[in-house]
Structure 1
Amino acid sequence: MCVRTIPAWRRRLRQVLPRRGGQDCCWFHGGDWHVVSGLAVRLLREVSSDGTEDDIEISSRMMTAARAEGLTGWDWEAFESLVYFPINVDADGYVNGRHRASVMMAAGVRKTVVQVMVLDG
């Protein structure tokens, strides 16, 4: 199994010596999350800079901008996964996206986009 707990020392090491590119164990390890996450963070800032808060509008604008950037193949699919099937976290931890988050941490990705779920009550 390619997902496992990543020791703190390894996460710190990957911050200094990031792992780029992919591995062949699974789809999640198949590309460079540094590229995809960096683009997602940048585009999220750009498309929401006008104050738009509608999730559907933001998602649509991000996908249009990613297409204009020429994103294709694995990078396109990974980007799409962050936009349409986001890593969800709530007060108890991960709700969705644990495998992607684990892969990114192992590679030393410093920033990505997530959806924070707030429960009323």
Structure 2
Amino acid sequence: MVDEDALLARLTARQCWDAETLRGPATERLASNENVELPRGLAHQGRYALRLLNLFDGDLGRLRAAALRCRELAQEEDSHRQAMWMRATDLCEQAVARVTTRAGADPDHQQSYVHRLMHPEPDPAEELAYRVVWVATLPAPHNLFRASCMTPLSTAQRWARQARPTRTPRSCCRYHAVDWHRASRGARRLLRQARRGAGPVEEVYRRARALAARAGWDTAQREAALSLLSPAEGIIVSPEDSPARWFLLNGQHRTQALLEAGVRRTVVLRAP
């Protein structure tokens, strides 16, 4: 049974990856939450984590076992095939965390919260919201499986990078290849301009895309700035067990790259 669950998690991870790599109208449909039978306003990977929660009938024990098995299977694969198993592990862990960070360890509270997630009622409070934040205060990335060149930073190292930022992109991976100082400035500028028309996050993002197309930026800067604003791809943070503690739902690797570069402020999306 656990092997079947692991394969199901990997299949969902593959679907998540395929959807992330789409371009054009398909990406816009995902970002606008149309035709997605899950609660609105969640990160792209968060949607697929909740899809796993549905597929596993809300059974956190099965999800934990599947995550463990996916991690074991990843160790048996070469580096090319390992990433998808680790993505499956991450989705299972996100599904569990989505419940336990809100409901705690009480099984009754967990069951009640799972029911709310699987049978949501429309609630404006469930929408994502843009926030400009200090990068050094962002939650620590917890699953940096895509880039071997990334190592978590201590609190002291975070503030040291703020004092001596790095502005030269590196060629070791696609995350370090971006000038995140320029990208973050561009994202904040687009957000200021696109917010003037008010509206939900999806509408603001559509206006930001149109503004970026007219800004005269190079392709790399435009895509990096828009990736910080995208409801499907942005850095998504959610309260863990109190407003003072946060958890990264999406954007692990970009958060790490921002921290390493010593970027001061950037744009994130806050989940409820």
Q: TM-score, normalised by structure 2?
A: 0.41
Count of matched residue pairs: 117
Task: Return the structure number with greater helix share.
Answer: 2
In the alignment, the residues of structure 2 paired with residue 60 and residue 69 of structure 1 have an alpha-carbon distance, to the nearest angstrom, of 15
Distance in 2 (CA, whole Å) between partners of 1:3 and 1:22 is: 14
The RMSD of aligned alpha carbons is 1.4
Q: 1:10: Cα distance to partner? A: 2.1
Checking the alignment, whether the CA contact within 8 Å between 2:187 and 2:226 is kept in structure 1 is no
Detail structure 1 runs of 4+ shifted over 2 Å in the superposition: none
User: Do the aligned residues in 2 keep the contact of 1:89 with 1:114 (CA within 8 Å)?
Assistant: yes
Superposition TM-score, scaled by structure 1 size: 0.87
What does residue 256 of structure 2 align with?
102
Higher Rg: 2
Decide which of 142, 158, 161 is 1:14's aligned counterpart.
161
* CA distance in structure 2 between the aligned counterparts of 1:7 and 1:56, rounded to whole angstroms: 35
2:216 alignment partner, SS class: coil
What percentage of aligned pairs have identical amino acids? 33
Q: Read off the aligned partner of 1:95 and give its amino acid letter.
A: L
Listed as ranges, the gaps of 5+ residues in structure 2 are 1-147, 241-246
Q: Distance in 2 between matches of 1:13 and 1:114?
A: 22
Moved more, 92-101 or 70-79: 70-79
Any residues of structure 2 matched to 1:1-121 within 5 Å, and which? 1-50=148-197, 52-84=198-230, 85-92=233-240, 93-118=247-272
Give the residue type in structure 2 aligned to 1:11.
R
User: Within 2, Cα distance between the matches of 1:17 and 1:68?
Assistant: 33
Give a deviation string over 1:40-68, Cα, whole Å, max 9, x none: 11221222134x13222211111121222
Supply the distance in 2 between the matched residues of 1:21 and 1:5 (Cα, whole angstroms): 20
Distance 2:249 2:226 in 1: 18
